[in-house]
Amino acid sequence: MSIRIDDATRTFTLHTRNTTYQMHVDEYGYLLHLYYGTRSEGTMDYLPTYADRSGCCACPHDVANRTYSLDVLPQEFPFQGNGDLRSTLLQVRDGEGVFGCDLRYVRHEMRDGKYALPGLPAAYSDAADDTQTLSVTLADERIGLEVELLFGVLPDVDVITRAAIVKNVGTGRITVEKLQTACLDFVHGSFDVITFNGQHCMERKPSRQHVLPGSFSVGSRRGQSSHQYNPFMILCDRDATETAGRAWSMTFVYSGNFKAEVEQTQYQQIRMQMGLSDELFSYPLEGGEQLVAPEIIMTYSNAGLERLSHNLHRCIRKNVCRGEWRDAPRPVLVNSWEAHYFNFTGDELVRLAEKAADLGMDMLVMDDGWFGERHDDFRSLGDWTVNEEKLGGTLGQLIERINAAGVKFGIWVEPEMVNENSDLYRAHPDWALAVPGKAPALGRDQLVLDFSRAEVRKNIFDQLCAVLDQGNIEYLKWDFNRSIVDIYSHATADQGRVVYDYYLGLYDVLERLVQRYPHLLIEGCAAGGGRFDAGWFHYAPQFWTSDNTDGHDRMTIQYGSSFGYPCSVMGAHVSACPNEVNGRTVSLSARGLIAMSGGGFGYELDLLELPERACEIIRNQVQQFRDMERLVREGLYYRLSNPMTDDVYMWEFAAEDGSEAIVNSVIAKAEGYGEARYVVPRGLTPGALYREVNSDRVYAANALMDMGLPLPVSSALYMSRSYRFVRVDE
């Protein structure tokens, strides 16, 4: 059993294959956190310490013990109102507008299987998995408040999930002013915090710093998880490396505003927490209503950051992504955007499709510009009707021509947005999020539709279905090209609930879409990687990693993304050079090898303008990706170097059983006749022999993992190498 409950001591122990998570209800009814670390037996109730700190730490009124304070004790769900003056997970106001509550244990329940969350994405388990759920309910009878804490145990992937449901079980109004999902309280430690920061076209750069006295936080108030800060955070030993040291992580299964915090307290204790942002948030609950705190995925490693990443990769691939595309090879595609932008005809798309088929690709994607009067980005968002004059016929006829050329057909949409110059906006201006009497802030000359409203969602869903039903559409690119700035919905008087309800509405539309079109491959996009999060992956198995397709920058973007997310969810394409974002030129071979490290591989350029030598390279790349695709999608990913600091970008995909591995390298900095560089793989079977497929030479695994394989000394900038090793089984 994954969950063990000692009723005598009221201790709850959650076991995964390699980790243990433990908490208990103390004599005063408070739920204390005891331990999260390497799998252990016994009760760790000796870890909290007690001392008389009554000069600065408050004590609950009914506790006649000056050594007891919630401001010092490690807790599972800290709340504002009874002495904990650190950053808490919950702040509420009662019907009189007064802050404060006092949550104490009332009951628990254990059940087989993994909990689900109403209206929100969450990890799930297969029926055969040894997965269990623990529910622990805390309550404040004075104001009629209950909080149900949900713990999901996924033992095979070493993951514990957390969620919380805040319930108004009384008759008066309760207003939730802050709601985060989970925290980890450490009674001591010297740690670093790693976050993944950036901007549009340079997302998820790792940032590592010491935890010092005070509070450190990252988050998003942009109405999306954002390019600037990803809802994923690592806390680790200061000397932790890829292969050594302790590390804990939190991943938010949510696509909207969030906040992640680490606080070192007056007594050098550490609190790590994550959940909804409390900015632009104030959520009322009437009697009988509830509010769900989105899920947090947690994992722990005592063997460095690499194992932590492997746990998360397995969990997202197996327990977050769903549908038939979860475990299926993705089509190699060409997207029309950088080939034609808005200026294309149906005939031009057919010619592009014919060339794609000639190069061995599987799909053509028609990007922005196919609907309404969409000849630029100033008009027609919201009017999802086919421009048949532009396409030279109906959408169904174009799809038939594309399929006849030998490739599948995909299409781009941006359903959450509307232009003021559109029929939809002229008919329903109140459907856009905009503050009455204030000129709205524009982004890309567009406004955001109010997805918190059922009638808005119905209109957009019906329009999408009318498009998808016109032919054999096998791929949908769902874009989101601006932040949410103006927070005002005509459907409610409580504007502090709008952004949260917006995401309930978005997830509702996505769920209905995947249920109606189970064979459709959906890829997310948010001006590139602005909504690259585990919440999205519950509905679609891949996301456009960044609008920056420059091979050099993608080394860092994909490297940073890999700490929390598997390569199988990354959309990665080869684009033209000089790159349109930064003007850099990177060799076609390097661009291809780097892009092949994403599960959604393809091209973003005009194939018809390529010289024959480039076409031949692309034909080989397409075949190479097909040969390595399964390892990219299912294998273990190893970061063999750091492209932010090292001269060579090196990475590896290895089968879980060690039977094969692909080791890649790209020269990121070249010096004439410089030092020899070596690529040192990991994840091979110790003591085994491996044949390198391209050279047919046999190597000893131990020697490779000790000393590596030399790269050519006179290496040119962006020279790439790929080595495929297959174990020689006797």
* Dist. CA 556–CA 529, nearest whole Å: 13
Q: Which two tokens stand for residue 249?
A: 């992580």
Residue 547 annotated to the active site: yes
* Residue 576 to residue 604: CA distance in whole angstroms: 7
* Candidate list 383, 479, 501, 533, residue with the active-site label: 479
Nearest to 306 by CA among 262, 241, 254, 377: 241
Tokens 């970061």 belong to which residue? 639
One-letter amino acid for residue 494 of the chain: D
560: helix, coil or strand? helix
The helix or strand, by DSSP H or E, that contains position 215, with its residue range, turns out to be strand 214-220
Exposed, middle or buried by CB within 10 Å (0-12, 13-18, 19+), for 406?
Answer: middle
Phi first, then psi, for residue 354 (nearest 5°) are -65, -40
Q: Is 479 a catalytic residue?
A: yes
End-to-end CA distance of the chain: 38
Residues near 541 by beta carbon (within 8 Å), at least 6 away in sequence: 321, 322, 323, 325, 326, 330, 521, 522, 568, 569, 599
Helix extents (H) in 540-611: 551-562, 588-595
Categorise residue 527: left if φ over 0, alpha if ψ from -120 to 50, beta otherwise. left
Burial of 104 (C-beta count, 10 Å sphere; 0-12/13-18/19+):
middle
Cis check for the bond before 578: say yes or no (omega within 30 of 0). Answer: yes
CB 328 within 8 A of CB 374: no
> Which residue in 84, 368, 383, 547 is the catalytic one?
547
DSSP string of 231-282, one letter each residue? SEEEEEETT--SSSB-EEEEEE--SS-EEEEEEE-TTS-EEEEEEE-STT--
Cβ proximity of 88 and 76 under 8 Å: no
Residues contacting residue 730 through CB under 8 Å, at least 6 positions apart: none
What gap in Å lies between CA 555 and CA 595, rounded to an integer? 9
Would residue 566 be called left, alpha or beta, if left means φ above 0 and alpha means ψ between -120 and 50 degrees? Answer: beta
Beta-bridge partner residues of 245? 303
- 414 is written with which tokens? 């941006």
List the catalytic residues. 479, 547
